[in-house]
Amino acid sequence: MKLSNIAPVLPFLAFGCDASSASASAVSAGAFISTPTGTLKVTKAERCACKALVEKFQKEVIFPGEANYTEQTVDSYWDVRADLTPACVFVPETADAVAGAMKIINSCDAQFAVRGGGHMNYPGSNNIDGGVLVALSSLNSYTVHNDTIEVGPGLNWYEVYEALTPYGRAAIGGRMKTIGVPGLTLIGGFHYFNNKYGYAMDNVVSYDIVLGNGTQVTATKASHADLFWALKGGANNYGVVTKFTLKTYSVPKVTTTIQTYNETYFPQFIDAMCESAKVDEANPIAAGMIATISYNATTKAASASLLGVQEGASLPPSQFANFNKIPATERINNVTTMNLWSAELDSPKQMFRVMFSHKTMKPDSKTLFSIYQAWKAAVDEISDVEGLYPTMVLNEITPSSLRVAQTNGVGNVWGLEPEPLMIWQFSTGWALAQDDLRVEAWSRQLTEHLHSINQEKGLASEFVYMGDAGEWQDPFLGFPQENVERMREIRTAYDLDGVFSRLSWGGFKLGF
Ligand SMILES: Cc1cc2nc3c(=O)[nH]c(=O)nc-3n(C[C@H](O)[C@H](O)[C@H](O)COP(=O)(O)OP(=O)(O)OC[C@H]3O[C@@H](n4cnc5c(N)ncnc54)[C@H](O)[C@@H]3O)c2cc1C
Ligand SMILES: *[C@@H]1O[C@H](CO)[C@@H](O)[C@H](O)[C@H]1NC(C)=O
Ligand SMILES: *[C@@H]1O[C@H](CO)[C@@H](O)[C@H](O)[C@H]1NC(C)=O
Ligand SMILES: *[C@@H]1O[C@H](CO)[C@@H](O)[C@H](O)[C@H]1NC(C)=O
Ligand SMILES: *[C@@H]1O[C@H](CO)[C@@H](O)[C@H](O)[C@H]1NC(C)=O
Ligand SMILES: *[C@@H]1O[C@H](CO)[C@@H](O)[C@H](O)[C@H]1NC(C)=O
Ligand SMILES: *[C@@H]1O[C@H](CO)[C@@H](O)[C@H](O)[C@H]1NC(C)=O
């Protein structure tokens, strides 16, 4: 069986989408742009920025109606909900161009959004109606060093793994192919190897960043150490990162396992997940997984899947012994390379509308199974939603993954103690815009209700991961208060004008 055959259990489904198109002359004339849902009035500030950008950068600026506009404002986004209609798109080719653009945007006082790999899934996090979209797709160069790689924010993780394969090395990034480097690295970064190397953010040794006033800064442990720390989980609150330097590790081969289970064995599957989260070894073998349960409200069929990866060649993979004991409908182990594995794990863009909701808890398998049962019953309540594609995803947080930040002399903004945790996430896909509010309300109420039961039982953690969160969630509430205060002070020091809160307001913002 090929890895791609397992795609049905992953949350992807094909739907068409209507590209928006509007005329270039509308923006240059400074009046209106038309969108699928109506007409947008371009503000004076946005007109000022788009005009100055095109005068300075010509070809790097794209207006509505021009050939590449749809590619940049629709095709580059994972969630159909994220498709919006900016007044102009700026596609910088150098960090200096980003710096020049920030000066223009700031002096015009224009609203803007920044996009890397376009996987963040809610409207406004990475795109904007009216305003300027800064699309980083052309900043896609890399340089491989002995034990680091410098990467531009226009790259996706597959491109990074492919660049490192000839050297037998791996970086700590996304588990699927086309997730972008910048968004994932700035919010944390769940990879298969977190248990040994920490999160993607813990593996960044240097950030080149353009601040809101257009100044370029390199933040490392030794220089701008406060900003260096804040960028480890601080998302898009500080500037536009134009280069990340990432640590790499010798991982010439990986052992992979693909397993699927029918519903009879869900209790054992969930129990094996909880046991895996609790493993706490001094020198762990790097190993981790993608764990998904899917349920079809029409056929009532449920199935669980494990996509596991561990470093080295060990058949069967030793770190998945608990899973290997469960009777599986399919079980395929293989020895391969990181880039060949991730090449098959595509997450195609523009497939559907998606709501993420999640909470975190201590790994208690009985309670997690009851969460699964409650979710399944709740899915039945919305089975009439067109194109419904419900999945429940589990992400483990192991003690050793958290110990990396505790011992590397830097830390990160999460400030989590090395204790096992389990993230339970509902990822719900659907087809029509008219169901947006309904699905969000359903997902939020269900999640908050189940979390409140965990709070009563003393099993709840208030940690929220930006990569698994819905727009109704505030990840900063789950960080230690002293870290949030420190993050605010650092924001004041580096962004006095509030460019990354007032003018770029989308995504997970620190608030005031
Ligand atoms: C199918 C799928 C699979 C996923 N798998 C994983 C996984 O395995 N592990 C994991 O940890 N997460 C995962 N995620 C979550 C993912 O990490 C986030 O969605 C992340 O934001 C994606 O990064 P991006 O560059 O593609 O996103 P974008 O949407 O481009 O950016 C995300 C945010 O970062 C900002 N941003 C982007 N580039 C920059 C920059 N250079 N400087 C400053 N701000 C910037 C944007 O403005 C936006 O607010 C997954 C998401 C999806 C949809
Ligand atoms: C526009 O698209 C063309 C063809 O795909 C490409 O060659 C060009 O670089 C693109 N320009 C921008 C600014 O993205
Ligand atoms: C990189 O590796 C090569 C070959 O092993 C070695 O000769 C060189 O000194 C290394 N460079 C650095 C900077 O460590
Ligand atoms: C699950 O699989 C077992 C064998 O592995 C089989 O006996 C059982 O009928 C299956 N149950 C369902 C619900 O498919
Ligand atoms: C196993 O790995 C090999 C080598 O990387 C690859 O060619 C093959 O397609 C893989 N097999 C499966 C079943 O994934
Ligand atoms: C559920 O099953 C029906 C009937 O086989 C199918 O049409 C639909 O696509 C399935 N839904 C999902 C989410 O797989
Ligand atoms: C831009 O902001 C930084 C950080 O506050 C500051 O050090 C720098 O002097 C500012 N640059 C200009 C040109 O104002």
Task: Judge whether 326 and 266 are in contact, CB under 8 Å.
Answer: no
Task: Judge whether 21 and 65 are in contact, CB under 8 Å.
Answer: yes
Question: Would you give the end-to-end CA distance of the chain in angstroms?
Answer: 52
Considering only CA atoms, which residue is closest to atom 38 of ligand 1?
A: 116
Total domains present in the chain = 3
User: Using 50, 70 and 90 to split pLDDT, how confident is the model at 31?
Assistant: low
Residue 493 lies in a domain: no
Task: Please tell me whether residues 260 and 171 are part of one structural domain.
Answer: no
Residue 419 lies in a domain: yes
Residue 502 lies in a domain: no
In angstroms, the Cα distances linking 336 to 4, 200, 310 are 15, 22, 10
Residue ranges around ligand 4 (CB below 6 Å): 262-264, 327
Q: pLDDT tens digits for 416-439?
A: 999 999 999 999 999 999 999 999
Task: Please tell me whether residues 26 and 10 are part of one structural domain.
Answer: yes
Q: What distance in angstroms lies between residue 99's CA and the mean position of ligand 2's atoms?
A: 21
What is the best residue among 102, 112, 184, 216 to mutate for testing ligand 1's pocket, by most ligand atoms within 8 Å of CB? Answer: 184
Give me the domain span that covers residue 292.
254-478
Q: What distance in angstroms lies between residue 434's CA and the mean position of ligand 5's atoms?
A: 43
Residue 387 lies in a domain: yes
CATH number at residue 382: 3.40.462.20
Q: pLDDT tens digits for 358-408?
A: 999 999 999 999 999 999 999 999 999 999 999 999 999 999 999 999 999
- Using CA atoms, how far apart are residues 194 and 398, in angstroms rounded to an integer? 8
Considering only CA atoms, which residue is closest to atom 3 of ligand 2?
A: 68
Which is nearest to 108 in space by CA: 35, 51, 49, 195?
49
Burial 480-491 (b: 16+ CB within 10 A, else e): eeebbebbbebb
CATH number at residue 127: 3.30.43.10
Q: What is the pLDDT of residue 209?
A: 99
Considering only CA atoms, which residue is closest to atom 11 of ligand 6?
A: 296
Whether the pLDDT of residue 15 is over 70: the answer is: no
Task: Please tell me whether residues 355 and 409 are part of one structural domain.
Answer: yes
| C-beta of 389 in contact with ligand 6 (< 6 A) | yes
Residue 377 lies in a domain: yes
Considering only CA atoms, which residue is closest to atom 5 of ligand 6?
A: 299
| C-beta of 467 in contact with ligand 1 (< 6 A) | yes
Which is nearest to 244 in space by CA: 253, 232, 226?
232
Task: Please tell me whether residues 195 and 213 are part of one structural domain.
Answer: yes
> Atom of ligand 4 at shortest distance to CA of 265?
1
The lowest-confidence range among 6-10, 374-378, 455-459 is 6-10
H-only helix segments in 264-364: 266-278, 321-324, 338-343
> Atom of ligand 7 at shortest distance to CA of 496?
5
Helical pair 44-57 and 95-108, crossing angle rounded to 10 deg? 150
* pTM of the shown model: 0.94
CATH number at residue 161: 3.30.465.10
Residue ranges around ligand 2 (CB below 6 Å): 59-60, 62, 67-68, 91
Q: 428: phi > 0 → left, psi -120 to 50 → alpha, else beta; which? A: beta
Task: Please tell me whether residues 146 and 127 are part of one structural domain.
Answer: no
What is the best residue among 134, 175, 186 to mutate for testing ligand 1's pocket, by most ligand atoms within 8 Å of CB? Answer: 186
Task: Please tell me whether residues 44 and 111 are part of one structural domain.
Answer: yes
* Mean pLDDT across 484-493: 98
Task: Please tell me whether residues 40 and 84 are part of one structural domain.
Answer: yes
Task: Please tell me whether residues 127 and 92 are part of one structural domain.
Answer: yes
Q: What distance in angstroms lies between residue 215's CA and the mean position of ligand 7's atoms?
A: 6
Q: What distance in angstroms lies between residue 17's CA and the mean position of ligand 2's atoms?
A: 22
Task: Please tell me whether residues 109 and 171 are part of one structural domain.
Answer: no
Whether the pLDDT of residue 96 is over 70: the answer is: yes
Residue 187 lies in a domain: yes
Task: Judge whether 171 and 149 are in contact, CB under 8 Å.
Answer: yes
Indicate the residue among 83, 105, 135 that finishes a domain. Answer: 135
User: Using 50, 70 and 90 to split pLDDT, how confident is the model at 30?
Assistant: low
Task: Please tell me whether residues 18 and 124 are part of one structural domain.
Answer: yes
Tell me which of 36 and 77 has the higher pLDDT.
77
Q: pLDDT tens digits for 255-278?
A: 999 999 999 999 999 999 999 999
Residue 149 lies in a domain: yes
